[in-house]
Copies of this chain bind each other. A is one copy, B any other.
Amino acid sequence: MSGYIQEDLSPEELAHRARLASSIAGSVRDLIDATVRTEVDEADIDEARRLIEAATAILRKDQLPGPFGIRFNTDGTKRSWGNAVLGRRNPIAPPVVLHHEPDVSWTEVELGAAYEGPAGLVHGGVLALILDQLLGSTAEYQQVPGMTGTLTVRYRKATPLGRIRGEARVDRVDGVKTFVTGTISVDGKVTAEAEGIFILPKWARGDKSDVLRRSVGEG
């Protein structure tokens, strides 16, 4: 499949690239927050724009022809650095950092002004976005990966902007379908619940299943 790339990078080179990706994306995340919240006047906006456009021109001197894709390295790790939720190189991603334990996968993440829906609250769709990734990655970690078939999110109460915790568990596996459940909570109280049904794609059910199965390490 196009966009799935095999690489052979040394640990030092990987660490170097990770540091660079996080540093530039982190700067842009801070800029995003400043853009949402700024109250400066037109002259300052114009000056900021000039600086931003100069930065963009530098970054575009040498660039990928399309999206980042997913990179597998010979050490068994996988990089989804362009991913809209996990991607350390993607300023849209908070990024979410997942922790996998034997029976639960979890994350804690701070969501600022850029993730707003109703006033002062996390956008319900942002919770769905994070849950989709969390549930899918949980299935992948448990070696029962797949593409999202159905995602259902039940919103129990408002989720204020700030720190949230996500948790997910594989509930059961039925043939090529894996059922994963998860929650979002704030201060120990559940604000949203989700169920995801992940389906192993046809192309991955035979010999090619190693493409999805071989790696759970997220660099």
User: What's the nearest-Cβ distance from chain B to residue A98, in Å?
Assistant: 14
Number of copies: 2
Q: Across the interface, do B42 and A119 meet the contact criterion of CB distance under 8 Å? A: no
Q: Across the interface, do B92 and A115 meet the contact criterion of CB distance under 8 Å? A: yes
Within 8 A of B (CB), among A44-97: 44-45, 47-49, 51-56, 58-64, 66-70, 82-85, 87, 89-92
Q: Across the interface, do A116 and B84 meet the contact criterion of CB distance under 8 Å? A: yes
Q: Across the interface, do A83 and B38 meet the contact criterion of CB distance under 8 Å? A: no
Tell me which of B24, B27, B128, B152 contacts A56 (CB under 8 A).
B27
Q: Is A9 interfacial (CB-CB < 8 Å)?
A: no
Q: Is A6 interfacial (CB-CB < 8 Å)?
A: no
For the A-B complex with A70-B118, A83-B116 known, give 5 more contacts whose Cβ atoms are closer than 8 Å.
Answer: A28-B32, A35-B59, A69-B120, A70-B119, A150-B153
Can you report 25 A-B residue pairs in the complex whose CB atoms are below 8 A from each other? A3-B119, A23-B45, A34-B59, A34-B63, A35-B90, A35-B91, A37-B60, A37-B63, A39-B62, A40-B58, A44-B61, A48-B59, A55-B55, A67-B119, A70-B119, A84-B114, A84-B116, A84-B126, A85-B125, A118-B147, A123-B132, A124-B147, A125-B128, A151-B152, A151-B155
